[in-house]
Chain A
Amino acid sequence: MEKAKIGAYQLFVLILLFELGSAVLVPIAIEAKRDAWLAILLGMVGGILLFFVYYRLYRFYPKLVLTEYIEKLVGKILGKILSFCYILFFAYSAARVLRDFGEMLLTYAYVNTPLFIVNTLLILVIIYAIQKGIEVLARTGELFFILLYLLAITGFLLLIFSGLFDLKQLKPFLEDGWGLVLKVVASQTLYVPFGEAIVFAMIFPYLKDSKKIKIAGVCGILLSGINLALVMAINISVLGIDLASRSQFPLLSTVQSIQIAEFLERLDVFFMVSMVIGIFFKVSLYFYAAVSATTILFKIKEPSKLVYPMGLAILFMSITIANSYSEHIKEGLIVTTRFLHPFFLVVIPVILLGIAYFKNWGRKRKSQNGAKNASMSQKG
């Protein structure tokens, strides 16, 4: 744990940037065809519920991060094993996102550049940021949040002015029924990106005002969900469902179709800026969670010394994780969303919450002072 304090607004910004991160770039929920936006919105509702689970856990232990209270809840040995699993999960997720990024950049802009170099550069910047600590990351987030939204609004206006919208493309509504949408929600959008907010369970104790976590989190997830749904709807209405679902990066294709006054076209750089910013924050937060969990688990005194080797580990993981982009995506769909995400994002936190309720209920029974103490410490 470092000595740092972040504000509620900063948490909101971090959540927003984290959720938008890579999700805004890739064809998320495209399996739900024209109803992708609906699947995203429903996933967002689920994500908010999951966030409440994480928040409730935090309220039981307002001074501890996720990997610390795991030990308290399930016992030392099992707790340590679980903590270690979470470290691996965070690091693996960071590596996955980094790989996503490298693949994107290589596919459309830097065809001849090795993946290793592209990823190395970004991870170096991330290492630099993490060494500066969560406070600096949050402040940087505040700056780029403004930049990102300026870009988004400009892009949106340009799309409107170039007359590319065809809302008819979103029809027919629910062509394949609710079944498909709900399936996509349960298998994808609930976890990516909304459930991933579990990394913030590693950051909650840094908040100046713990009462505002709930509002910041809900606002962050809500806004990001609406934005993602909007972006997906825009993609489909501009590109049509066939192009949107065949695009590796639908947002890129959408941005590329802007053509105004023979001058404002080829705005790929818009996409690249938003991509680098989003990915930077997503990897950074995963990475930060992994580093701080490792520090706690192995009781390392100087976390900043850990940043460098772990960064390199993530870099190498990101490169060796898959041979091709298709393999990488397939791996993501099968391994990550089918097994890792439900397990780490839903099952374990819910079980933990159950245990926490049970323990606290027992404690309340034993002595009412305990409850008072808990509420005191929450206030503090």
Chain B
Amino acid sequence: MAKLRGTGIAAVNYPTGMNLGGDPSQALIHATTTGTFVISLSSTDLGQGLKTVIAQIGAETLGVPFENVLIDTADTDTGPHCMGTFASRATHRVGNAVIMAAKEARKVMLEVAAEELEASPDDLDTDGQGNIYVKGSPERKIDITSVALAAHFKYGRSISGRGMYIKPKSPVDPETGKMDPDSTEAHACVVAEVEVDTETGEVTVLSLKSAYEVGCQVNPALVREQIIGGAFMGMSHALYETTAPYYPSPDHAPGSFSEYVIPGPHELPHIESVVLEYPSVNGPYGVKGVGEMTANAPIPAIINAISNAIGVRLTEYPVTPEKILRALERSPKLKQPAQTGA
């Protein structure tokens, strides 16, 4: 028997944020006496790195070092409301709320610094290294800790801010389906290369080469990890996973990792990706959501590649070896049909 190779492509969009909107998130920021900024949230980090990227966004907007920013989440007594981490929404929604809160806190910080520097707040800027300076004369500066101490003990001012972001909920016209479902759309294209063993029906994904356009990246390493992890999950969905192997029959439902088939490191294909950045109009620093779509795009690319390899169009996933062998019986690419009745 033979090993057949094929290539397939898929190009997809993915909406950022809860469908139709109406999903608020809040952030509160305050400075401690010595200039540590605490961002209070009730948002959840699923492992994608929310606690990290939100600290980056907060530090950037405040104009203070990353190390000066703490994330305090998730506690409903101390953190203001967040709709939750899903729908590729968290960086977009929470990030926007943090920017709003940080701008308010930054304004107070600059006003206090202006008093200390005997300058106008409009003439001040932050250097991102922990100092506030007079634009044009950087030697006239004051460090953040001194500003925070002065705010607390000299001026009685709270360096703090409130942030809230919501995309107003869109109604759906029940007759036409007219609606505003998304905040922004990210895009991806995946090229998959596969090899099909016509004797066993097994598919090896040789490579997944992709381009992702995700607005601006707050943390490129974390975006990279989403792309690779998502590519692997997409491959897993395309070829292996199901809770009902003979769907719609509910029989043979797996109850353990030994029965629920997920590929392991041996099945990891060569993954290459390029990330394009076109800022979204409404994302914090131009971000779009990336978390979910990375698992979507590889599925049709892989299935199209298999169809290309065997010459039979496949229309369902997971494409298990059994389904491949059955499809091969119809393949014009094989002179001898695969043995049946095995």
- Answer yes or no: do A and B interact: no
